[in-house]
Amino acid sequence: MQHGTIHLVGAGPGDPDLLTLRAARLIAQARTIVHDGLVDPAILALAAPDARLVSVAKRRAHHTMAQEDINALLVTEALAGRDVVRLKGGDPFVFGRGGEELEAARAAGVPCEVTPGISAATGAAAAAGIALTHREASSILTLVAGQCKGLSDQDWTGLAGKGRTLVIYMGVKTAAQIAEKLMADGLAPDMPLAVVENACRPEMRVLRGPLAALPDMVETYAVVSPALIVIGEVTAREDTALAALALEAAR
């Protein structure tokens, strides 16, 4: 029997209009879609009426399905001769565990194709009007996970500061530790930052303030995932009046 193909597809930051043409085509043609919890319902609505939708949502301290089981599901579908779309928020290879699923497919000898998507970082920054790199403010961009094993033991020295932009994924629950860690590593308490919640969606909020205020900002405005923290001078280049309006709208 000929093996099916596993398609690792990036769903982008949320808005269906930001899907690639190839991603939209694969979703529409798929018979089986294994999707993350952060994939917007409007994107899932592009699937055929008879498509099988399997949610493998991951939330802090609760996974619908362990990663090893997701890998096994994808491989089982492909070995049975069925193509399967593995639909991920953002880009499959940016904090999406796409690399693990690709390795599982290769180990099982089944074809695996990757369709990249607009990453959460680039999508959120664009929606918030933040240039992640700027000739006058930042020539270095770093992406890190704010929720991972051994966070307190990691050395973030030099990842943020003058001429640099740091984007933190999955940092809402650990905002206090992140702020403390960065300031302990020498980052100025008044370093500007932005928190972008529900990027590229109608309910998007953009909160701005100094690094030292990050924990209070997250708590006061009840920020929830999905949200990204962008730290660096690029977040303060927006007109002051517009930034004040964005903060007021979030109240």
Catalytic residue ranges: 36, 58
Burial per residue of 28-62, b for 16 or more beta-carbon CB atoms within 10 angstroms, e otherwise: eebebbbbbebbbeebbebbeeebeebebeeeeee
Q: How far apart are CA 91 and CA 120, in angstroms?
A: 7
Supply angle C-alpha 239, 210, 181, rounded to 5: 145
